[in-house]
Every structure is written in C-alpha cells, then in structure tokens.
Amino acid sequence: MTTQKTTTEPTTDEPTTGRRSTGRRSTGRSTKPMIGDRSALLLFLGYAVLVFFSFVYLYPFLVQLTTAFKTNTDAVANPLSLVADPFTTAAFRELAERDFPLWFTNSVVVTLLVTAGRVFLCSLAGYALARIKFRGRSAVFTAILAVMAVPGVILLIPKFLVLRYLGIYDTYPALVLPLLVDAAGVFIMKQFFESIPESIEEAARIDGAGTFRTFWSVVLPMARPALITITILSFQGSWNELPHFIVASQDSDLFTLTKGVATLTSGQLGSGSQYPITMAAALLMTIPVAIVFFVFQKYLVRGGTSGAVKG
Amino acid sequence: MSNAGSIRGGQTRAGWLFVLPTLVVLGLFLAVPVVMALWVSFTDWNGRGSPFASGVGFVGTDNYRELFGEQGGLTRADFMTSLRNNFYYVLLVVPLQTVFALFLALVLNQQMLKAVGFFRTAFYFPSVVSSVAISLVFLFLFSGGGVVNSMLETIGVDGPTWFNDSRGLLHVVGDGLGLWNAADPPSALAGGGLLGLTWWQWLSGPSVALSVIIMLVVWTTTGTFMLMFIAALQDLPVEVEEAARIDGAGRWGVFRNVTLPHLRPTMLLVTTLGLIGTWQVFDQVYVMTQGGPSKTTLTPAFLSYFYAFENQKWGVAAAMAFILFLIIFASATLQRWLFRDKDAIELKRQERRTKKARARAVAGGAA
C-alpha cells in the first residue's frame, strides 16, 4: 500500500501542485511554484525514508508472528521466510503444558492490582497536591519530585533488603505493594486537577459535601482522560516490569510473564534454541499490551510524552 | 476568622490523609530501603540474617576502595569493564536515538505527507512492548544463521556470530585500517593501564555483542523521543518558518536558525532522559547475554545485581549501585550545564525575582 504511494505520488500528483492555488497542498509550507520539482523530489525521499523505517520497525514483529507458527527446523532453515511451512501450533501447545499459563495468570493478577491501586492512590495524592491547601504541601511535593529523580535500577538491592526485613519476601504482596504508587502518576494527576476550574468544587462544598465526597463524586468523574492515561501507563508499566519481580521473589509459583519468559532463553526448560517457543511466548506477552495500545493510542501518546519513559 | 481557621485545620487533615498512602508506599519501598542499602555498602554482610544484626561487621569504605583500589583485583577489573562497556553504550545510544528521533519527527512533520498516523504508530509501537519480548525477538534475528545474517548473505557479506563475538569495534576498525594488529596489540597500549585495565582494553570500543544491544535499544526508544519532538514541532507556528523562507532563508537555514533553537528544551529533555535511561541498562543484558561474551556486555547495573544475588557480596554490590547513582547524577548535571541557555537563565532569574516580590507583597497584604 505504502510502496505504491511512493511510486505514484510524485509523478502524477506533484508537478501540478505548485501551480494550483487552492489545493490542499499549496496551503502547506514551501510550495512556491519555483521549487515544485524539488518538492516532488523531497516528497519522494520522504516516503522512501518512511517506508524504509516502517520495514525496519515492522519486520521484526512479522518475523515473531510467523516464526511462532513454524517448526524449529523450518525456523532455522528459512529465517527470512514470512510463511510458516508447515504451519503448526506446536509451540503454543508446548507453552500451555509448561508453566506459561501460571505466569500469565500471575501477570494478570499483579497488573490488575497495581493498576487499580495506582489509579486510586495517584489521583488521591494528585488532588491533594493540586487543590487542598494543607500545611506541608510544598514539602510533600518536593519529596515526591526527589523520589522521581532516583534511578530505578539503583533500587534492586534496597527493595530486596526491605522486603526481607518486612518478612514479605517471596509473597504476592511483595510483587504488588512496592509498585502501588508511581511518583510520575501523582505528577500527571496533579497537573490535570490544576486545569479543572475551581468553581465547580466550590459549588459542591457550599452544598455541604466533604472533601472526600467532593473529590469522589464531583472532581474524579471529570478527570476521565487523565485517569485513562494513568490506567494505561500503569498497565503497560507493570505488565512489562522485570527487575522488580526478579528481586522480589524466587519461588517459581510467583513467576510473572516477564520473569518466566526470561528463563526460556537460559534453557531452563530445555528450549534455549527452540525459536518457535520463544517467539510464541514473546507474541503472547505482546498481545495484551498491543490491544490496549491500539484502543487507547491517543491517551498513551499523551501520557508517554508527559510521564515516564522506558530506557 | 475562627471559622476560617477550622476550615484550614480540616483541610490540613484531609490533605495529609489524601497523600498518606502515597507517602507510606514511597517511604517504605524507596526512602527507607535506600538508607538500608547505604548502610549495607559499608558492611561485609553476606546475605544471611539481618544486615543490622550484631554479627555484621562495619568495614568503613572498604567496599568502595575495592572498586577503585589495588586490593580490588578481579572485582575492580569487573567493575571497570562494566563502566567501560556502559560508557561506549551511552556514547552511541544517546546520540543515535536523538538523531533518529529528530529525523523521523522532521519527516513526519511535513504537511505534504499522507498516512502520517500509520507511520507514527509503527515507529512508536516498540516503545510499549515488553523489553523481554523484544530481547527474545532480537536473539532470534541476530542468531548465527538468523534473519540478519541471512540478509547479509544475500549481499555477499559473511555476518559475525553476534552474541558470541567479543571483539571490540575499535579494535576491529583499527585492525582493518592497518593501525594495529588486533591479535598482537601494540605494547605501548597493552603494557600500561589504568584502574586494573590496560589502555588497550579501555580503547576496545563496544563489542560486537554489545552493539546488538545498542541497535535494539535505539530501535525501541527512538519512537518515544520522536513523539516528544513531534509535539514540540507542532508548537512552532508554520508562519514563523514561512516568514523565514520568504526572507530568503534556505531549507537548511530555516532548520538551523529557526527550528533547531525552538527544539532546544526538547533536546535537553530527550538527552537527559536518554542519559538517565542508558546508564541503567539491565533488562536486555539479563535476558540476552548475562554479561557475556568475555564480560563485554557487563553493565554496572547488571554487575551490581550479579554480585549481590549470585555472589552474595552485598556490600560491594550496594557500593556499585551508589557509584552508579553518582555517575548518573553527575552526567545529567554536566549535560544540563552544557545545554545551559544564558538568555533563558536570565529570564528565569527575572521571573523568580518578580514572583518573590509578588509573594512578599501578598504576604504583607495578608499580615
């Protein structure tokens, strides 16, 4: 589809655009008649660049998708081929017989708990920091900003220490509790609440609603876009989290998808070079995030540019 | 007045109740543990029992000295190797991801192009996918007879066995140019050294295996940074660029004198986030190489994890983590300083002054 565009667009469309005065294109920048030919060339180059990069970006996912349905012999012999021949679902059946369903369940439970907790706690704190005038507010805010500046990877050993100290190492709460609050999420919610007109809450307060009531039934329903952003960021963040799960438990019953699938490469399941199995596992763990991504793309794009960034 | 006071008091109670859960979680799992780890970095704790038990010995700065001093031996060599690897990694990843992100953003910002949404989505998608899943895919792509080597074969290039290849790129390039023989390094470089590594080892460049991780990370992170550049470019009114062009500026001139200065704050953000992220690389190393081949993909983050959880040398491992923290802090500060904009600094100073003056006026009025 896009390749077609590169070849047809410049030759048929472009030479005339320079002269058209009311066309869509001429309202863009830089379509003075003199440089029509150069624009055509640039347009062609632009599409060439985009098509090349789309190939670089999409091809690995296509390889992943097709290899998951190949036999290992086929995967090794014809790595470039995007057709599985013979077509087989053996890799998925193999995964189903292993611990994969357990990892998947653990990931779902942890992700749901973390996401629910983050949405609630981040909006509570964000609202207080944006709206409630209480003594010590700026100190709390500074503390949260300072926390945001601590690089996560430094916390591997510290987290293990405190989980052991609290006696919850190797338990479900150890997987969930430390992830419950995300300083960046608090920051996003605070910014959103600051953009809501204050008069609305004043009306509720005059009607005699308490602070929590006002927050819960008046302000929160208005914060839908920000809540969706936080939900997606938390979902994606906890679903893809790896280091925390590595240090929070060692019991194989508590493996999440990321931690479990990571063991596939070290050949713990005797599948170090079983490419269809690893590709099938990678595919299955990508699907939930992909669905959320495509459904809520515009919120994610907004959050991705205002909040945390993965390294 | 007393009524206002009680509202104030109620507000304070409500405010603290609202932020309390957040503070408890952040304090318990962030602030307290960091202090605990700082303590551990000054002890010889071996992972058994509590690090605060009386049997645990306080060793002062021994763990830190082991990382830098003569007595460190293998530990120091490991740590320095990991710093070297991560340095080359940062040196390549940060500029590459910034340049690619800016380039793609500029192309996508051309109003003549159609289907921009499709391309933007395609480039951003890897950013949201789990690093574990992507690492698995790249393990397959770059395997000995994998996709990349098959492609290279079609153009007549014999690809390396990527993940088993510990040759440093600078060594290979210098060898190719005839500067030196990689099998028999010049004695001037191999003889002397610094901090446990020879000059020859310091100057290796990233290994072939590490360069796969570099490619992977540039590939995944470019999309996020591209979005930031696109958002900034959309803030730049089309009229400004048009006016510059009417004044006779060429495309390159407009880019250099109008677009690029406008992107300065975004550039600072992107490179800062890039620096902070790249010094912390862990997931890919854990999944793909575990530090190998020949320790050429060791990074301080992974080494710290490995020393603590596999070797039970908790004190040294915690010390590594804090050194890494200092490195991140220092490089982010240095980079802010390099990017400092004198006009903006002056502007901010003025803003602060007026804000202070206003605050003083308000406070005076209230009193």
Instruction: Please write the tens of the pLDDT for every residue from B305-354.
Output: 999 999 999 999 999 999 999 999 999 888 888 887 666 667 777 777 77
For A198, list phi and psi in degrees, rounded to 5: -70, -25
Picking from A139, A155, A307, the residue whose alpha carbon sits closest to that of residue B31 is A155
pLDDT, residue B8, reads 63
Judge: B14–A180 Cβ closer than 8 Å, yes or no. no
* Distance in angstroms (rounded) separating the CA atoms of residues A49 and A46: 5
Cα A48 vs. chain centroid, distance in angstroms?
A: 28
Report the CATH number at residue B219: 1.10.3720.10
* Distance in angstroms (rounded) separating the CA atoms of residues A57 and A49: 12
Residues of chain B contacting residue A275, judged by C-beta atoms under 8 Å apart: 140, 143
Q: Which segment of A204-213, A255-264, B95-104 scores lowest on mean pLDDT?
A: A204-213
pLDDT range class, residue A77, cuts 50, 70, 90: confident
Give the chain B residue whose CA is nearest to the CA of A213.
Answer: B14
pLDDT, residue A4, reads 37
CB pairs under 8 A between A and B: 301
pLDDT range class, residue A5, cuts 50, 70, 90: very low
| pTM listed for this prediction | 0.85
Residues of chain A contacting residue B278, judged by C-beta atoms under 8 Å apart: 311
Picking from A151, A149, A150, the residue whose alpha carbon sits closest to that of residue B301 is A151
- Half-sphere exposure (CA, 13 Å, Cβ side) for B254? 19
pLDDT, residue A20, reads 37
**Two tokens, residue B333:** 């500060």
CA distance A78 to chain B (A): 8
3-state SS, residue B88: helix
Name the percent of chain B lying above pLDDT 70: 93
For A20, list phi and psi in degrees, rounded to 5: -70, 130
A76 in contact with chain B, both atoms CB, cutoff 8 A: yes
Give the chain A residue whose CA is nearest to the CA of B288.
Answer: A265
Q: For residue B181, what are the β-bridge partners? A: B184
Partner residue opposite A80 with nearest CB, options B147, B228, B324: B147
Give the chain B residue whose CA is nearest to the CA of A143.
Answer: B23
What amino acid occupies position A54?
Answer: S
The stretch B236-264 carries a mean pLDDT of: 84
Partner residue opposite B115 with nearest CB, options A2, A53, A133: A2
3-state SS, residue B58: strand
* Distance in angstroms (rounded) separating the CA atoms of residues A258 and B287: 10
**Two tokens, residue A48:** 């060439």
* pLDDT over 70 (residue A269): no
pLDDT, residue A1, reads 34
pLDDT, residue B49, reads 78
**Cα–Cα distances in Å, from B141 out to A280, B130, B150, B158, B297?**
15, 17, 9, 15, 18
pLDDT, residue A6, reads 36
| Number of domains chain B is built from | 1
pLDDT range class, residue B364, cuts 50, 70, 90: low
Residues of chain A contacting residue B33, judged by C-beta atoms under 8 Å apart: 155, 158-159, 161-162
A156 in contact with chain B, both atoms CB, cutoff 8 A: yes
Residues of chain A contacting residue B18, judged by C-beta atoms under 8 Å apart: 124-125, 127-128, 132, 211, 215
pLDDT, residue A213, reads 87
pLDDT, residue B342, reads 63
pLDDT, residue B341, reads 67
First CA to last CA distance, chain A: 33
B279, B295 contact by CB (below 8 A): no
Partner residue opposite A154 with nearest CB, options B223, B228, B321: B321
Cβ burial B41-51 (10 Å sphere, 16+ → b, else e): bbbebebeeeb
Residues of chain A contacting residue B324, judged by C-beta atoms under 8 Å apart: 151, 153-154
Judge: A53–B231 Cβ closer than 8 Å, yes or no. no
Give the chain B residue whose CA is nearest to the CA of A80.
Answer: B147
Tell which A residues from 81 to 120 touch B, by Cβ distance under 8 Å: none
pLDDT, residue A9, reads 35
Whether residue B191 lies inside any domain: the answer is no
What number of other Cβ atoms are within 10 A of residue A28's Cβ?
16
Q: What is the dihedral of CA B90, B92, B97, B103, to 10 degrees?
A: 150
Residues of chain A contacting residue B8, judged by C-beta atoms under 8 Å apart: 133
Picking from A166, A242, A238, A140, the residue whose alpha carbon sits closest to that of residue B33 is A166
pLDDT range class, residue B295, cuts 50, 70, 90: very high
Instruction: Please enumerate in sequence order all residues whose Cβ is within 8 A of that of B367, keeping only pairs 6 or more positions apart, or say none.
Output: none
pLDDT, residue A19, reads 37
> What average pLDDT is seen over chain B?
86
Whether residue B365 lies inside any domain: the answer is no
**Cα–Cα distances in Å, from A302 out to A246, A298, B105?**
30, 6, 16
The stretch A141-153 carries a mean pLDDT of: 84
* pLDDT over 60 (residue A291): yes
pLDDT range class, residue A300, cuts 50, 70, 90: low
The residue ranking higher by pLDDT, B54 or B284, is B284
Give the chain A residue whose CA is nearest to the CA of B320.
Answer: A154
* pLDDT over 90 (residue B281): yes
The stretch A118-126 carries a mean pLDDT of: 94
Name the percent of chain A lying above pLDDT 70: 82
A281 in contact with chain B, both atoms CB, cutoff 8 A: yes
The stretch B137-159 carries a mean pLDDT of: 89
Judge: A311–B276 Cβ closer than 8 Å, yes or no. yes
pLDDT, residue B207, reads 94
**Tokens 């204050």 label which residue?**
A198
A220 in contact with chain B, both atoms CB, cutoff 8 A: no
Query: Which structural domain range is residue B280 located in?
Result: 83-168+205-351
Whether residue B75 lies inside any domain: the answer is no
A35 in contact with chain B, both atoms CB, cutoff 8 A: no
pLDDT, residue A24, reads 40
DSSP letter assigned to residue B57: P
3-state SS, residue B18: helix
Whether residue B52 lies inside any domain: the answer is no
The stretch B121-136 carries a mean pLDDT of: 92
Partner residue opposite A305 with nearest CB, options B40, B219, B228: B228
* Distance in angstroms (rounded) separating the CA atoms of residues A256 and A241: 9
| Prior bond of A276 cis (ω within 30°) | no
Q: Which of A14-23, A228-237, B205-214, B334-343 has the highest mean pLDDT?
A: B205-214
For A230, list phi and psi in degrees, rounded to 5: -65, -40
* Distance in angstroms (rounded) separating the CA atoms of residues A309 and B96: 17
Whether residue B122 lies inside any domain: the answer is yes
A65 in contact with chain B, both atoms CB, cutoff 8 A: no
CA distance B195 to chain A (A): 23
* Distance in angstroms (rounded) separating the CA atoms of residues B104 and B97: 10
* pLDDT over 90 (residue A124): yes
Partner residue opposite B287 with nearest CB, options A79, A144, A262: A262
CA distance B10 to chain A (A): 9
How confident is the model over A174-220, as pLDDT tens digits? 999 999 998 889 998 998 998 888 888 888 888 888 888 888 888 88
The residue ranking higher by pLDDT, B122 or B187, is B122
* Distance in angstroms (rounded) separating the CA atoms of residues A78 and A84: 9
Tell me the DSSP string of B166-195.
--BHHHHHHHHTTS-BTTB--HHHHH-EET
The stretch A95-101 carries a mean pLDDT of: 90
Q: Which of A9, A45, A57 to mutate to test the interface with B (most CBs of B within 10 A)?
A: A57
Whether residue B106 lies inside any domain: the answer is yes
The stretch B178-207 carries a mean pLDDT of: 84
A30 in contact with chain B, both atoms CB, cutoff 8 A: yes
* Distance in angstroms (rounded) separating the CA atoms of residues B364 and B367: 5
**Two tokens, residue B331:** 């490089």
Whether residue B315 lies inside any domain: the answer is yes
A261 in contact with chain B, both atoms CB, cutoff 8 A: yes
What number of other Cβ atoms are within 10 A of residue B126's Cβ?
22
Cα B144 vs. chain centroid, distance in angstroms?
A: 29
Whether residue B339 lies inside any domain: the answer is yes
* pLDDT over 90 (residue B7): no
CA distance B169 to chain A (A): 23
Q: Which segment of B32-41, B147-156, B239-248, B291-300 scores lowest on mean pLDDT?
A: B239-248
Partner residue opposite A124 with nearest CB, options B18, B40, B146: B18
